[in-house]
Structure 1
């Protein structure tokens, strides 16, 4: 089964086209209308600093309505924002009050649940306090098929428009508003989406139609996962042969083996000062998250009738690393330690 059949893709384009009539275009072009009420759902490690930055960058007279299953996270955000954040009692309340809504959720089933609760019953344009068309942006990293289902649910509800916008940059990027977003949406939505996400990051890359952002993110992280294991093995190999780690890294970073895990996140302690390896592999991108993203990529590959050559073995490696007490819950470069690398 493919992620998106030709018929499904056509139906999505037609549905978006139908919604993009004169009134819809005026609605998205009228910035003041969309800057009055923002919603944010999901105040986890990424979502919390994103919501904080959003509150700081929208107008003082604008509203930010947030929801999270953790009341402590909501209260902490309200305190940090000097009370300029409104706490919602449910995701439906966020949907009823806000025109621009962002979600940052852990797993596909969380995304499905939240959007079902926001959109049902389908009366947001007729009975909710705010009857304007909504822009819903999902920043979660999930599988394309689930996102496609959510896209269709938003369109069929008549509530507004939806785009997938998974992010890259980690907690540091979320905190410093330097994230990169990979966006999947129709062309007519791009300017408005960039306007919103530009408040939270440095780069907003339009990858193509709905689900394209997720496909780009998963393809990138699939490659990153493999490059990281290869870098850990190569560094371990060279050091076991007696090579100096810094000299080996300099060679790799100026030769054909150059890659992000070697140049910016080198797994050997002492080689790169800013790398998690110098902090006992604390912080960074966790092994559990990498295993999750690999799983999503493998699922998407299966749905697209593609057979992975290296991905399944890589996922087994990250799962094994996560089960090691000396490695679990650390940056994914800790694969070097798991391999028995010299520290």
Structure 2
């Protein structure tokens, strides 16, 4: 996720939906100015295909998203991966991020895979439009280098923003605002049949710390993997810390899968958020809410906070939720024996 500074109420967060190409952000953007001659030549060799007579590959609907390369200016690189690089640039007088994907000429199978991945990514991004999802502008498909142009979010990643904050210092109204932005973006993606699969505060991929256990185990998974990751992001918003920061990513993956570990909820965490986070990162995907429910819950929190500044300090879970939390097996057997939920709940409460 990344933020866009465009109002006086704090940044708006947008979902970045580049497919997984193992991107790693540069530690210092200024270092990119001091490229070695070899690195410079390789960078030039990538971009030259976009303005030369490279072999154009036509596909369905390409004319609708094809970039006018005469309007593109490529600037400094700020992220890179094995087969891709992302640059800041200008396209038709707008600040943009430019992702270049290089097909390895010596590996035809991998080249075909990267081309297919590029085509799928562009087709997906072209049809998406939402205030909380990064905006796609254009693309260019000239082998052996492909190009995707999106809006550039100058505010940086959510992780970078949180790193600037003191732990546990983010005001609860900002936590809510950011959480709603992210949840609405994910709600839209899911409504369009898009699974993110790598939702995290960094905005880049390869993130075991945010990954649902069923994905780590490479099992069949659903949209609920994104809900799990959102639970971790909520924890980050409340703490401004990195999840499992005392472990390597691999150790975190093992702890999540084998020990059902989760980042510790701080004692200062509002009860309302604790309940939502615990539901989002539940080990059983079926127990996680969908993003429609998440958005509704967060918006109800925001409305209640607006009406009552002490809402979170006075919030108490429903009594039936508390009973089910402490006596899950007992209440489950009772509910299965009774058809009428209302009468069952009344019967339970009469016994407490």
TM-score, length-scaled by structure 1: 0.28
TM-score, length-scaled by structure 2: 0.28
Report the structure number with the largest CA radius of gyration: 2
Greater per-residue helix proportion: 1
